[in-house]
Amino acid sequence: MVSRLRVPAVLVVAAFMLAAPPNMATAQDRQPPSSLAQLEYSFAPIVKRVAPAVVNVYAQHIVENQNPFLADPFFRQFFGNVPSRQVERSLGSGVIVDPSGLVVTNFHVIRGASQVKVALADKREFDADIVLKDQRSDLAVLRIKGAHERFPTLEFGDSDKLQVGDVVLAIGDPFGVGQTVTHGIVSALARTQVGTSDYQFFIQTDAAINPGNSGGALVDMSGRLVGINSAIASSSGGSEGIGFAIPANLVRVVVASAEAGNKAVKRPWFGAKLQQVTPDIADSLGLKVPTGALVASVTAGSPAARAGVKAGDLLVSVDGVAVEDPNAFDYRFATKPLDGTAQIGLIRQGRQMVVTVALEPLPETPRDEVEIHSSSPFRGATVANLSPALADELRLDPQAEGVVITAVAEGSTAQSIGFRPGDIVVSVNDHKIERSADLERIADSGSRSWRITIRRGNQQISVMFSG
């Protein structure tokens, strides 16, 4: 079982930090210890230097009490008036990555939070604003409010240079017992099937990680940030030597978007659907082993299409770095800087080729986001015009068109009917819905009967209402 590492009502400091003592081997010159003296090196100076850049993140959530018995006067006479809303508090960790007070943490730590606080290593507490949330990578960026100082930071390392066997340290507050330092090695790279992020390319480590470490830092032997801890694999709920961290090179992309003032992460858009290469597909392509990412379809007008990528192509590398599967390709391409180009190696009908793909963000068009207030099945729903950029945010098909529900108010008519964020409104009362203004106008028509068709995932659902 893969578990995220947020811990309710527990003080959490989750960061892993180290710096190389004098004469210790560099990341480029890895060597096993050759003497007892080398084994007696202490990580204490490293921890002391980097710990101030690790913070606790306190998130406060308002939870609606959905128990139907609480509305029944008969039960209230026994249990009293139980509040319909309750405050739930949880704690995670974060890492200061900019001296102005920019903090990176996990998205799941602050999901749905109405208030966020940050506690420094010196026990001072500050309110924090959520600058950017990116569910796709399970990352979020906060900014400390009301501070007029330069904060200690962790420098980014190059997570692509990590090798299996490299030593890493973890500093955190597992289970709220107090700051704890653990060390271990990188157990594996490019782990998939973790299930906490769309980008399945995790660093696996055996450094003891437990609930409470979400948003903490994994650092290399130079004291650089190489990952943000996100999940553990555990049957007991505690550390069993299998922890997962989001690579720092992906974290860097999210932080850069926040620093640029964006409300959403700007990533390069490739514009093709990819599929896994199975042993049968590999055999049909004449491959000795199943590797690479097979192009299933290409979006018209996308960077991939303009570069000449075609359905049936086998993508095998990004800027000379081999990719073993679609997850590896997505990660390698998503971590490229915008406004440049990437050299994509591919195989087409047995012939090796290299094409140049522009690194462009997903196209954005005016969203014209509106909340429906009129008496209709959509009352309480917020809708917007779909664009490839919005589709990416909502994890929808980038080729989808029309009007999408982006939010549903608690207790609203739309919620009671069962509409969800991500539902695409296809038609209402036999009128095709192409713009949010179309839906707003029809919802305000005063009709007493409704024929609604929506698309949810791969399903098209038609419903009727009257009255």
- C-beta neighbour count of 167 within 10 angstroms: 17
Exactly one of 90, 134, 138, 206 is catalytic; name it.
138
Q: How many residues does the chain have?
A: 467
- Tell me the CA distances in angstroms from 88 to 64, 67, 85, 176, 430, one per residue in order: 10, 16, 10, 17, 44
Catalytic status, residue 313 = no
Residue ranges of alpha helices (H) inside 56-174 are 73-79, 107-110
CB 173 within 8 A of CB 179: yes
- Between CA 43 and CA 49 the distance in angstroms is 10
The three-point CA angle 421-400-360 to 5° equals 105
Exactly one of 90, 93, 137, 214 is catalytic; name it.
214
Catalytic status, residue 108 = yes
Exactly one of 93, 108, 239, 412 is catalytic; name it.
108
> Cβ neighbours of residue 216 under 8 Å, at least 6 residues apart?
5, 12, 13, 14, 15, 16, 54, 92, 93, 94, 95, 170, 171, 172, 228, 229
- To the nearest 10°, report the CA torsion of 298, 301, 306, 310: 20
Per the DSSP assignment, residues forming a β-bridge with 167 are 185
Q: Catalytic residue numbers?
A: 108, 138, 214
